[in-house]
Amino acid sequence: MCCLLAYLDSPISLEHLLYKPEHSLIVQSYQPREMISGVINADGFGVGWYHNQKDTDPFFYKNTLPIWNDINLPSLSRYVESKCVLAYVRSATPGQAIALKLELYCSSMILLTMAMCFTDWGKGLLSK
């Protein structure tokens, strides 16, 4: 199971969004409350945001490490503020009945994430 965070409101620091809430995205990565399979979300993360004053493409930061293991994110998150943020932590635990892939994509002025679900992969398009 992957966890998402979406924020659209007054400018706020990434630190406040990612670290401060009681059940923050950081906490949900190592102590998820509603995870059905697996134990943690340790297969990477991503954070994307739009600049507050400039009309530019969104910025993003991704890593294949667990979010709690990234040494740059805590200091980066103290300096970045945005009114539009999208973030995720990923779990790709082997043995799940449904394989999930969650990524952060940026194309021009668009920032999005997609959850893709594949069931019976070998019986689908590949077998035709």
Catalytic residue of the set 2, 3, 84, 117: 2
Active site (annotated) includes residue 2: yes
Helix (H), strand (E) at residue 60: strand 59-63
Burial class (CB in 10 A: 0-12, 13-18, 19+), 68: middle
* Residue 61 contacts residue 32 (beta carbons within 8 Å): no
The 8-class DSSP code of residue 54 comes to: S
Residues 6+ apart with CB under 8 A from 69: none
71 vs 77: CA distance, rounded Å: 11
Enumerate the active-site residues: 2
